[in-house]
């Protein structure tokens, strides 16, 4: 249901409503790669936590705070910066955010102490929300009947960036040192800034309201759209599970009985990247009206993954199987949720996306920090029990979905 904005005049969508031709393949590919490269900045540190713990003489919980702070920065950027995607010309906003990210990654690579690295991580996480400016951008360009598939293709790039960043970070650290990971990312961000500045088509803003009105309308969207709140909480639970697993798995793989090097951790992360293949399929499921049953399937898949991980503590094959299943589940739920929220108001997709992504990254920050504490206090068993509880809660929420919709008369989620 579109929102009413007495102080903000809406403009037509940049794509004519009757258009049947979506964005060109080269643009979809470029946006997919761009999303993958930018979101990778949030995850480079995950496989490096044991190295950073030793370099700065930290315990597991303190080292894990690096991932938490980065995710908090990303969530803050989603709340305060991504809504500007409806207010500012997209190319200009993308250029500013990527410039900030470039500088932050360079500072991270040169950080003389852990607090400086934490500050750089906070800023780079905030700037990396450019990925979530580009996703609603391509959603606006796609016709209704293929939006799920087009967004799924772009999200496959984003999700591949999340997963492959762990491999790239591990391999670069093995070949050089952890600082090279951050400095190499700074170079990539600088090149991407110039590329998108030249290649992105101009996109007119969809609202002319003030920044204050924009934030107020974002809060109002969260208040009036039940499916937005529900899908955001679902994904917060899923991303909390995802972050808890991947924040602590490097501790497991570097300890007995594996004693893996950073190269071994990188190969393990590469196996988990197979989960990115499901993103286009999830988009097709959403286009076919299968959002509800496939959402439940994603929750059950995540629960099964944590059960396998818990019982397979001493088997790398079982841990790898759990990683693949968990990534498949988290990514399917993400795409299904985005398809749902983008149908709520076509003039406010950046703001809808802002609420959705910010909420689930807060869930991710919670999962990574509490997961690190759980592992520090109770080992892998405590971690898997905590991580499995989150999709169980999401599944219980899913079971009440139809009753809630019947009472409120809201859109299906």
Q: What is the CATH number of the domain that holds 166?
A: 1.20.1250.20
What the block records as the tokens of 65 is 């705070």
375 vs 383: CA distance, rounded Å: 5
**246 within domain boundaries:** yes
**314 within domain boundaries:** yes
Neighbours of 26 (CB within 10 A): 9
**Residue 91 near residue 200 (C-beta atoms within 8 A):** yes
Q: Give the model's pLDDT for residue 321.
A: 94
Q: Give the model's pLDDT for residue 308.
A: 97
Question: For residue 112, is pLDDT > 80?
Answer: yes
Collapsing DSSP to helix, strand or coil, 10 comes out as strand
pLDDT digits (tens, 9 = 90+) for 59-70: 888 998 998 899
**12 within domain boundaries:** no
Length of the chain: 413
Q: Give the model's pLDDT for residue 385.
A: 97
pLDDT digits (tens, 9 = 90+) for 307-331: 999 999 999 999 999 999 998 899 8
Give 9's pLDDT tier (boundaries 50, 70, 90): very low
175 class by beta-carbon count within 10 Å (0-12 exposed, 13-18 middle, 19+ buried):
exposed
**279 within domain boundaries:** yes
Q: How many domains does the chain have?
A: 1
pLDDT digits (tens, 9 = 90+) for 162-182: 778 888 898 899 899 999 999
Q: Which of 130, 71, 116 is nearest to 364 (CA)?
A: 71
Q: Which residues of 264-291 are buried (b: 16+ CB within 10 A; e: fewer)?
A: bbbbbbbbbbebbebbbbbbebbbeeeb
pLDDT digits (tens, 9 = 90+) for 338-364: 889 989 998 888 889 889 988 988 898
Neighbours of 31 (CB within 10 A): 25
**6 within domain boundaries:** no
Instruction: Assess whether the previous peptide bond of 16 is cis (omega < 30° from 0).
Output: no
**10 within domain boundaries:** no
Q: Give the model's pLDDT for residue 279.
A: 66
Q: Give the model's pLDDT for residue 276.
A: 63
What the block records as the tokens of 167 is 């491999």
Question: For residue 233, is pLDDT > 90?
Answer: yes
Least confident of 33-37, 137-141, 220-224: 137-141
For residue 203, the Cα-to-chain-centroid distance in whole angstroms is: 24
Q: Give the model's pLDDT for residue 90.
A: 85
- Could you tell me the residue range of the domain that residue 329 belongs to? 25-213+221-407
- The residues near 186 (Cβ < 8 Å, ≥ 6 apart) are 102, 103, 105, 106, 109
104 vs 99: CA distance, rounded Å: 9
Q: Kindly state the average pLDDT of the residues 230-240.
A: 96
Q: Which of 138, 192, 131 is nearest to 26 (CA)?
A: 138
**13 within domain boundaries:** no
Give the bridge partners for 207, in sequence order.
10
**Residue 383 near residue 252 (C-beta atoms within 8 A):** no
Q: Which residues of 341-359 are buried (b: 16+ CB within 10 A; e: fewer)?
A: bbbbbbbbbbbbbbbbbbb
Q: Give the model's pLDDT for residue 409.
A: 55
**252 within domain boundaries:** yes
174 vs 177: CA distance, rounded Å: 6
Question: For residue 287, is pLDDT > 70?
Answer: yes
């Amino acid at each position: 249901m579109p929102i009413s904005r007495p102080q903000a005049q809406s403009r037509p969508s940049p794509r004519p409503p009757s258009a049947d031709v979506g964005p060109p393949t080269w643009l979809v590919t470029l946006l997919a790669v761009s999303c993958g490269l930018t979101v990778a900045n949030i995850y480079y540190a995950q496989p490096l936590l044991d190295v950073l713990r030793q370099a700065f003489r930290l315990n597991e919980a303190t080292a894990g705070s690096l991932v938490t702070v980065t995710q908090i920065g990303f969530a803050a950027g989603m709340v305060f910066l991504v809504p500007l995607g409806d207010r500012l010309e997209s190319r200009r906003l993308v250029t500013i955010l990527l410039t900030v990210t470039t500088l932050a990654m360079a500072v991270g690579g040169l950080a003389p102490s852990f607090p400086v690295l934490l500050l750089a991580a906070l800023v780079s996480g905030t700037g990396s929300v450019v990925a979530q400016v580009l996703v609603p951008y391509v959603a606006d360009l796609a016709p209704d009947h293929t939006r799920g598939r087009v967004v799924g293709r772009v999200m496959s790039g984003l999700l591949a960036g999340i997963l492959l960043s762990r491999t790239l970070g591990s391999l670069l650290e093995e070949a050089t040192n952890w600082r090279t990971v951050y400095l190499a990312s700074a170079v990539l961000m600088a090149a991407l800034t110039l590329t998108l500045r030249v290649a992105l088509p101009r996109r007119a803003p969809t609202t002319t309201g003030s920044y204050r009105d924009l934030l107020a309308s974002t809060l109002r969207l969260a208040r009036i759209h039940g499916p937005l709140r529900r899908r955001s909480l679902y994904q917060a639970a899923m991303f909390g599970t995802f972050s808890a697993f991947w924040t602590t798995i490097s501790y497991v793989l570097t300890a007995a009985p594996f004693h893996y090097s950073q190269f071994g951790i990188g190969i393990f992360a590469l196996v988990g990247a197979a989960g990115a293949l499901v993103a286009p399929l999830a988009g097709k499921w959403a286009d076919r009206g299968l959002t509800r049953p496939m959402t439940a399937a994603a929750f059950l898949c995540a629960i099964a993954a944590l059960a396998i991980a818990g019982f397979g503590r001493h088997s790398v094959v079982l841990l790898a199987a759990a990683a693949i299943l968990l990534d498949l589940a988290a990514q399917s739920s993400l795409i299904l949720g985005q398809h749902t929220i983008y149908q709520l108001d076509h003039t406010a997709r950046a703001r809808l996306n802002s609420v959705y992504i910010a909420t689930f990254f807060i869930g991710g920050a919670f999962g990574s920090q509490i997961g690190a504490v759980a592992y520090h206090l109770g080992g892998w068993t405590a971690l898997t029990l905590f991580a499995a509880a989150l999709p169980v809660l999401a599944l219980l929420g899913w079971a009440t979905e139809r009753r809630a919709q019947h009472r409120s008369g809201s859109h299906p989620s």
